[in-house]
Structure 1
Amino acid sequence: MKEKKSLQDRLKALDKLAENINKANDYPIVGRLSTTPELKENLKVEYVPTQSFNLNEIMGGGIPKAKITIVCGKEDSGNNYFCFC
């Protein structure tokens, strides 16, 4: 039976892999959020708030800026009206 590696050994291996990938690309692409502040900063999303408090709450603050957002719903549910506003 194969011996299971410790968590520390697995994290070291992942960090080494991430380091090699990031070196090849000249900027951080992969890594752990707790140790890579650049990645954490890139994950911050700005939102455009809507007039609906409930919709803003469901979507985490509104419609994400610079992201593709698909609005779908049943027929006559107001999704076309929402897209044109």
Structure 2
Amino acid sequence: MSISRDELVNVLTVVSFLAHAEREMHAAEKKVLIAAFKAASITPEEQEQMKANTSLEEMLEHIQSVEAKHALVELMALVAAS
């Protein structure tokens, strides 16, 4: 099973949300997130959808597949390590 586009957008939204939680983002974290957004070809419409999401719980509820959950953990680790 593969990750749906909706799950991918939610994974990126959660990681971005958490990266911005401290109000400051390290330059390396920002570069990793930008690279992930570009690799996923996030559209301006998807960016607006991401900005509109304010509930971490809701975003996490939309991440259902094992692959998407694994991608979330891997991307969180990548951003945290940068």
Is the pair's TM-score, using the shorter chain for normalization, greater than 0.5?
no
Structure with the higher fraction of residues in helix conformation: 2
Q: Which has the higher contact order (CA 8 A, sep 6+)?
A: 2
**TM-score (ref. length: structure 1):** 0.27
Structure with the higher fraction of residues in strand conformation: 1
**TM-score (ref. length: structure 2):** 0.28
Rg larger in structure = 1
